């Protein structure tokens, strides 16, 4: 009798795990990033599928009080006008000398009306201010106040097409990265033009940077110049995280 009980339990465990696994992995293959036959990328994709399958899509990260704002290191690129020895660097330097009056953010790809926004136009759109914790992959954290336009509002203004699956970002420090629509349409995902009550400083990504609060800091791309709505995953090639050895999804 006892043996029968054990088998039933074992079956229950297997069935339970299989259903969790099914929930996690039963996603449209086009929604998942490729694994490139790489064991590490398979782990990343499993984590991504687990987060999207098991965690609520709309939960907000904690927001702090103004008194909680802390010192904030500037790492990675701190001025593309100095570090980028290319046309992009020249263009950034020129924009910077004109206080970014000529800066434009283009929104293109799978949208009904491709268009671009000047800094003034972005600042006129209804904004959101949030005090959140920045979590760097290195292990440090910092709290800052960010003011900007929800990305969902900008995408709405351009008219996102039903085929859209990812939103790709291009920056003046020649980086390419993308996020899925769950993060792109999240209420705390903003195009930030202000930090701690002032215009966004150069070293933190002026004139506009992305804030993706449910992922690590490196997903919050600085020095934005172009947004492409895509129906396909875009790893950015040599300018993207994956070919440089970094995970695409960093909610962990």
Partner 1 sequence: MVEVLDDRRRASGAQQPHARWVRISHGIVTASLLTLAFTGFVILMAHPRLYWGEVGNDLTPALFELPISRNYQHGGWDKSTPFFQNAAGPISANRTYDIFNQNGWGRSLHFLAAWWLVLPGAIYLVAGIFGGHFRSHIWPKVTELAPRLIWRDVVNHLRLRIPPASGGPHYGLMQKLAYSLVVFVAAPLMAATGLAMSPAVTAAFPSLLRLFGGFQSARTIHFFTFVALLLFVLVHVVMVIQSGFRRQIRAMTVGD
**Chain residues in the site for partner 1 (CB under 8 A):** 6, 9-10, 13, 17, 39-44, 46-47, 51, 55-56, 59-62, 64, 68-75, 78, 133, 135-143, 195-198, 201, 203-204, 213-216, 244-247, 251-252
Min dist. Cβ of residue 40 to partner 1 (A): 4
Min dist. Cβ of residue 212 to partner 1 (A): 9
CA 195 to chain centre: 18
Packing angle, helices 2-25 and 39-54, rounded to 10: 100
Q: Rank residues 120 and 197 by Cβ distance to partner 1 and give the closer one.
A: 197
Residue showing tokens 């687990």? 50
Q: Rank residues 170 and 204 by Cβ distance to partner 1 and give the closer one.
A: 204
Compute CA distances 162 → 112, 155, 189, whole Å. 10, 12, 20
Q: Rank residues 143 and 167 by Cβ distance to partner 1 and give the closer one.
A: 143
Min dist. Cβ of residue 157 to partner 1 (A): 26
Min dist. Cβ of residue 41 to partner 1 (A): 7
Min dist. Cβ of residue 123 to partner 1 (A): 20
Min dist. Cβ of residue 204 to partner 1 (A): 7
Contacts for 142 with CB less than 8 Å, ≥ 6 apart: 70, 71, 72, 73, 133, 134, 136
Q: Rank residues 212 and 228 by Cβ distance to partner 1 and give the closer one.
A: 212
Residue showing tokens 């802390």? 70
What is the Cα–Cα distance from 216 to 117, expressed in whole angstroms?
27
Q: Rank residues 33 and 109 by Cβ distance to partner 1 and give the closer one.
A: 33
Q: Rank residues 85 and 113 by Cβ distance to partner 1 and give the closer one.
A: 85
Residue showing tokens 């097409």? 161
Burial 204-241 (b: 16+ CB within 10 A, else e): bbbbbbbbbbbbbbbbbbbbbbbbbbbeebbbbeeebb
Note whether 219 and 250 are within 8 A (CB).
Answer: yes
Q: Rank residues 110 and 134 by Cβ distance to partner 1 and give the closer one.
A: 134
Total residues belonging to the chain: 252
Beta bridge partners of 130: 146
Min dist. Cβ of residue 96 to partner 1 (A): 15
Q: Which residue, among 193, 191, 168, 196, has the nearest Cα to 181 in the 3D structure?
A: 168
């Amino acid at each position: 009798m006892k043996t029968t009980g054990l088998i039933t339990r074992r079956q229950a465990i297997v069935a339970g795990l299989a259903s969790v696994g099914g929930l996690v992995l039963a996603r449209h293959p086009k929604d998942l990033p490729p694994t490139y036959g790489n064991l590490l990328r398979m782990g990343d994709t499993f984590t991504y599928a687990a987060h999207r399958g098991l965690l609520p899509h709309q939960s907000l990260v904690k927001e702090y009080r103004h008194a909680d704002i802390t010192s904030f290191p500037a790492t990675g690129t701190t001025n593309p006008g100095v570090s980028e020895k290319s046309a992009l660097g020249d263009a950034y330097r020129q924009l910077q000398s004109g206080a970014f009056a000529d800066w434009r953010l283009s929104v293109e790809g799978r949208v009904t009306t491709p268009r671009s926004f000047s800094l003034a136009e972005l600042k006129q759109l209804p904004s959101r201010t949030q005090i959140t914790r920045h979590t760097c992959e290195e292990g440090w954290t910092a709290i800052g106040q960010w003011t900007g336009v929800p990305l969902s509002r900008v995408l709405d203004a351009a008219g996102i097409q039903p085929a859209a699956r990812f939103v790709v970002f291009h920056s003046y420090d020649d980086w390419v990265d993308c996020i899925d629509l769950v993060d792109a349409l999240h209420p705390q995902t903003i195009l930030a033009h202000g930090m701690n009550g002032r215009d966004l400083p150069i070293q933190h990504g002026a004139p506009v940077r992305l804030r993706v609060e449910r992922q690590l800091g490196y997903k919050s791309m600085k020095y934005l110049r172009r947004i492409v709505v895509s129906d396909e995953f875009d790893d950015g090639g040599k300018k993207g995280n994956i070919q440089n050895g970094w995970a695409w999804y960093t909610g962990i």
